[in-house]
Each structure stands twice: as structure tokens, then as C-alpha cells.
A and B are shown apart, each in its own frame.
Chain A
Amino acid sequence: MTTSTIAGDIQLVGLTKKYGASTALNALDLHIPAGSLTVIVGPSGCGKSTLLRVLSGLETATDGELLIGGLPVAGQDAGDRDVAMVFQDYALYPHMTVAANLSFGLRLQARHDRRGGPSKAEIAQRVAQVGGLLGLDKLLHRRPAELSGGQRQRVALGRAIIRRPGVLLLDEPLSALDSQLRASARGEILRLHREIGATLVLVTHDQHEALSMATHLVVMDAGAVAQSGTPEELFHAPATEFVATFVGSPAMNLQPEGDGRVGWRASDARISMADAAGATTPDGLVVEGTTETCEFTGDGQQVTVRTGERVGERGERVDDRSGDRSGDRTFIITQREGERWLRVGDPVRAVIPPSQLHHFDRNGLRRNA
């Protein structure tokens, strides 16, 4: 293991956090590269929020080592670490103006460290700078109650970055916003990441958000890291069945194969009408059935035929079929047959090239990794 002393580099070794008898983090090993936008994703209860709290210093790990910028931070209190955090509910100080919210940390710094701390002029200058960066210039004298949800989030971001931390933690930063604001807030976070150069660690349960934002993606399950790497790695070579079904939408299809299972993504399948395709012997996995036994979905302009019903022209899946994705013969494919839209009951076959198949053993681990 290489230890680096780059600011913003985070190294976790065997990190364990227990609450009484329950284990939230189980001997977790993880490296978060400096300057990355690392997204930690996982189902609720997987320990991702606990991990963030341990990184911030709000919680102390029961066991294991945590290095930030190459230095162990075990004894350091939350405020002394080179870490800032944006809370899910923003946690703005309700009785302070936007400017006072932004400058609170700096004013404390000035009070604690009269020589090295920032001067009044410097604080004012940095408030103005952060306000400008986040478009808060005209809101500096308002109180949080007078702001919209999106504005509050920008104040929370500003309060976190004004101290120029090496690491910025974001706990479900988009979950409190409506879907329209979410896209612009996502852009805001990406832009901020480019401009401040800090390591961003963002926790979410939304794998869409995770895939679209991350430079480094971490999937967590049951208090441990299931896989970490670039989003491409996790998408194209999932290490476990759990990662395979959690990353990507629609989720990877799985069906039995030997004592394990084989998985394939809808986007990798070549679809044809079953009766027309019998002529050639395809190389790869062949899935045959009708649109009643195969489930079709899609995105963009593609056609959607789903079991028993057709869903809109855009074809977003609206139901959660995660329960019956594994054993039965419900598959998700995103194609259409030439100009003709598939209809419910049409016979179809899908061919998936061998290179696009993912094989898992009986423990759900990737075989051909």
C-alpha cells in the first residue's frame, strides 16, 4: 500500500465502526484519490453515511486506521481536520444571514488564532468571493428562511468551501431538491469540483447520480466496499452480482448458468423478431420468448414493450422488479425491430455476444475477472 502525503488523499485501512452489537462498518479498506470526485453508493443501511461521519470526525472509528493527506487523524476533532461537510438538510444557522453563515467558520478561526487567523478584511473578501462563485451576491443579507431550496443548498456548499478544505464531504446533497433543481445542482457540484480542486466525497443512494458524476465510484454493501474503481470499470466489469445489479439502469439481467449465474446488459443485446432470425446460428447467449415473457424497456427514442403493457414513449421503467429479476425469465432489452414497434405478445429473440456476458460463481463473485 502506498501512503501519499498529498492533501485530500484519503486512506482507510480495516476501518470498523460498531454501535453496541451492530456493525455499521466492517473492516473496510478504501483509497480515495486526491482531487477525485468519489461517489459512494449503496442501498440504505449499507454504512455509507456512517463512513462519511467517520471521515468528518463526527464519529470515531471503533477500530482501524484513517489517514487524510497521509496523516493519521484518529485523535483530531472534527473542526481540526482538513474536512468540510454539506449536510443533507443543509443545517444552515437559522438566525444568521447568508453572509454570517458563510463566514462563521472563518470568524471562529480568527478568534481562536489571533495571529494566524484571517483578518476582517480577508473574511469579507472571501465571503464576497464564495458568494460570487455560487451566485449568492444578492442574497448575502437574507436569512435561510427567506431562501429557496436551491439557494439554501448553494449557501451550504459555500459554507463548506470557504475554509478551503482539502476534502469536501456531501451527504445526499441532491435528495432534498425537486427533480428540476437536481440537474442544475448536479452541474453546480461538478463545476465546483473543477474550480476548487478539493477531493469531493459524495454519498448517494441513487446510482444514476453516482454513474453520471463520479470520477471514482465506490459501491458499498453490508458495511464493506463491494467494489471501487472508475464508473466504467464498475459498469463493464462488475466484481460481484450485487454490483452488477446495482450499477446501471436498467439493471443487469441474470439467469442461471451451471452452479452460478450469467448476466447481460440490455444495451448489449441484439434483438430480432424470433421468426425472422432462425436462419443463422448466433454466437453467444440466445434468449427467446415473446414480449409477454420478455420484458422490454428502453431509453431515448427506443421502443418500449413491457410485459402486458406499453409504457410511454420514453419508456422509463416505473415499477421495481428487483425481487424477480434473478431466477425467472423476465429480461430487460432495449431495442426495436426495424421500423416496426414491438407489440405485446410478439415473438422475439435476443442475442448477446460472449464478450458481453458476465459470469458469476455460486457466491456471486465474478469468474472471468
Chain B
Amino acid sequence: MPGAERALRRQTAGVAWHLVLSVVTLAMIAPVLWGILTSFKPANEIYSLSPFSAHPTLEHYAHAISEWPVAQLIGNTFVMAAGVAIGQLLIAVLGAFALAYFAPSARGLILTLLTISLAIPPQALIIPQFLLTAKLGWLNSDLGLIVPQLGASALAVLLLLQHVDALPPSLLNAARLDGARPLEVLWSIVLPALRPAIAAVTILVFITTWNDYLWPLLVAPRQIDTTVQIGLRQFETAEGTNFGGLLAAATLTSLPILVVYLVASRRITDAFLQSGIK
């Protein structure tokens, strides 16, 4: 029977596909899991190949909490990530709305430029950006961590523009005929319709910024002003790397992001699916 054969083939393909996905997932979470497990091992077992420790310990956590400014660093990182996310969101909402609502004649050109800016590696801009930030006296400050990163809002603008463009034009026209001024159209009609997209873009930018390494390393190298990602370097010393402390601190500082994930996992999945990025 061809029907049964086809069903069987489809089933086999499904099983094979899930097998591939399982292997990939395992490969992705294995290092994380290994790191977490290792953070519970005493120093003399750090290099052992057994995943579980014979004498699990919390000494690295105690060390990380007492010797390392964990709250301060998480606070700094949060301020930076939230500041960049909110700032980029403001730019993206206003930019996307203006491009869609006023449809300027240079719209095509602007979109091309925004897309080109995505292709420029951030590393290529980092020296002039650093010099400018230094000249402004923003080194080792939240301003220095946040403001220069708002220049990279092109992706957020393009993502939101897709959503504004997808709104029925008659909806915006109806508001205009009802006497709404442009900002009132934005506030009363566009923003409520865009709420899911805005949430997605915010989360996307927040997580990307939280994990950023290069910019905070340059702008805020001092231990007390810097972010979690840079702060972890402190466990690499001239005498070698304190892997236990490093992994304990990394685990601790992953917790806030983990909480964000758990609370908004659905939104995050949507955000990444919609943006076509991972």
C-alpha cells in the first residue's frame, strides 16, 4: 500500500530529524552543563574527566560572592543592557513609524543605507567610537557603555518597520481622518498593534547587549565599573586561571538571563524566529 509506505517514510524522516536535533542540542548545552557541574568540584578535581564530583563543594561560590563584586557587576550590566534596549527601541519605533507613515521619497535610499550598515563589522568602527567616547569623557561611565551602542539600531528599525508596514494602510488613514496627528497615530494606533513586536525586539537587544564583550572591555575596563562579561576576566591571573571561581561566577551571573528566558521564553523564540537570526 503506497499510503502506508509514505506514512512510514514520513515517520522515519521525522525520527531521523529529531535525532539530528537532539545531537545538536546536546552539543550546544554540553559545555554549559559541564561548566555548571565543574563549578561544584573542589580545586583538585577541576581537571578530572568525571562529570560528577566525588566531593561536591560550594567553596567556589563562597569565594565568588565574597571576593568578587557580583551584585555590582550584574547591576552595571543590567543598566547597560536595559539602557541600550530602551534607547534602541525609542529610535526604532520613531524611525520605523516615520519611514512607514510619511513614506519619504528617500525611503528606499534610507533602507539601503540601514541594510549596508548591518554589513559593517562593529570591530571596524570601534577605534573611532572609542576615541570619540574618550574625548567626551565618558570612559568608565554608563553613558559610555550605552550611548555609542545606540548607533547600531539599524536592525531594530528594520525589524519594526516590517511590522508597521504590515498594518493595513486604511487603519492609519482612518486615524488621520479622525483628526489624529502623527504622534497620536503612533501612540493610539501603531503602538498597541505593535506590542508583541516591540517586546520581541527589546528582548533581542537586551540579551545581545548583556552578552557583549568587546565594547565594555574597551570603555569600562575598571573592575568596579564594568560588566559581568569583563569582570569574569578577574579569575584569569598571572598564576593561571581559577576555573572553579570563574565557573561559579559565570553560573551566578547567568541566573538573571535564565530568569528572563524562563519568564519570556515564548516571546524570545518568536523574536529570534521573526528576525531570522540566532
A residues in contact (CB < 8 Å) with B = 56-58, 77-80, 83-85, 87-89, 91, 93-95, 104-105, 108-109, 112, 159, 163
Min CB gap B100→A, angstroms: 15
Residues of A within 8 A of B179 (CB): 79-80, 105, 108-109, 112, 163
Min CB gap B188→A, angstroms: 7
Instruction: Tell me which of A58, A89, A95, A105 contacts B193 (CB under 8 A).
Output: A95
Are B193 and A87 in contact, with the CB atoms below 8 A?
no
Residues of B within 8 A of A57 (CB): 177
Are B193 and A78 in contact, with the CB atoms below 8 A?
no
Instruction: Tell me which of A87, A104, A109, A159 contacts B170 (CB under 8 A).
Output: A87
Expressed in whole angstroms, the Cα–Cα distance for A95 and B189 within the complex equals 8
Expressed in whole angstroms, the Cα–Cα distance for A66 and B189 within the complex equals 30
Expressed in whole angstroms, the Cα–Cα distance for A163 and B180 within the complex equals 13
- Among residues of B, the one whose C-beta sits closest to the C-beta of A56 is B177
Are B178 and A105 in contact, with the CB atoms below 8 A?
yes
Are B177 and A84 in contact, with the CB atoms below 8 A?
yes
Expressed in whole angstroms, the Cα–Cα distance for A93 and B189 within the complex equals 7
Closest 3 CB pairs of A and B: A79-B179, A105-B178, A91-B170
Are A104 and B177 in contact, with the CB atoms below 8 A?
no
How many contacts A-B (CB < 8 Å)?
Answer: 58
- Among residues of B, the one whose C-beta sits closest to the C-beta of A58 is B173
For B62-100 the 0/1 string (1 means CB < 8 A from A) is 000000000000000000000000000000000000000
Min CB gap A342→B, angstroms: 49
B175 interface residue, CB < 8 Å from A? yes
B21 interface residue, CB < 8 Å from A? no
Min CB gap A155→B, angstroms: 11
Residues of B within 8 A of A83 (CB): 177
- The verdict on A95 contacting B180 (CB below 8 Å), with A87-B170, A87-B174, A89-B168 known, is no
Instruction: Tell me which of A87, A89, A94, A108 contacts B180 (CB under 8 A).
Output: A108
Expressed in whole angstroms, the Cα–Cα distance for A109 and B189 within the complex equals 16
Min CB gap A329→B, angstroms: 46
Are A108 and B168 in contact, with the CB atoms below 8 A?
no
13 pairs, A vs B, C-beta closer than 8 Å: A56-B173, A57-B177, A77-B176, A79-B181, A84-B177, A85-B174, A87-B173, A87-B174, A91-B170, A93-B175, A104-B178, A104-B188, A112-B179
Residues of B within 8 A of A108 (CB): 178-180, 184
B171 interface residue, CB < 8 Å from A? yes
Min CB gap A159→B, angstroms: 7
B121 interface residue, CB < 8 Å from A? no
Expressed in whole angstroms, the Cα–Cα distance for A159 and B179 within the complex equals 12
- Among residues of B, the one whose C-beta sits closest to the C-beta of A104 is B178
Residues of A within 8 A of B177 (CB): 56-58, 78-79, 83-85
Residues of B within 8 A of A109 (CB): 179
B240 interface residue, CB < 8 Å from A? no
Given contacts A56-B173, A78-B177, A163-B179, 9 further A-B contacts (CB under 8 A): A77-B176, A79-B178, A84-B177, A89-B168, A89-B170, A91-B174, A104-B180, A108-B184, A159-B178
B192 interface residue, CB < 8 Å from A? yes
Instruction: Tell me which of A80, A91, A94, A163 contacts B173 (CB under 8 A).
Output: A91
Residues of B within 8 A of A159 (CB): 174, 178
Are B171 and A91 in contact, with the CB atoms below 8 A?
yes
Expressed in whole angstroms, the Cα–Cα distance for A163 and B179 within the complex equals 10
Residues of A within 8 A of B178 (CB): 79, 104-105, 108, 159, 163
Min CB gap B127→A, angstroms: 45
Q: Which of B167-208 contact A (CB under 8 A)?
A: 168, 170-171, 173-181, 184, 188-189, 192-193
Expressed in whole angstroms, the Cα–Cα distance for A65 and B216 within the complex equals 60
- Among residues of B, the one whose C-beta sits closest to the C-beta of A77 is B176
- Among residues of B, the one whose C-beta sits closest to the C-beta of A85 is B177
Residues of B within 8 A of A56 (CB): 173, 177
Residues of B within 8 A of A163 (CB): 178-179
Min CB gap B130→A, angstroms: 44
Expressed in whole angstroms, the Cα–Cα distance for A155 and B175 within the complex equals 14
Residues of B within 8 A of A95 (CB): 192-193
Min CB gap B123→A, angstroms: 42
Are A58 and B176 in contact, with the CB atoms below 8 A?
yes
Scoring B170, B177, B180 by chain A CB atoms within 10 A of each residue's CB, the highest score goes to B177
Residues of A within 8 A of B175 (CB): 93, 104
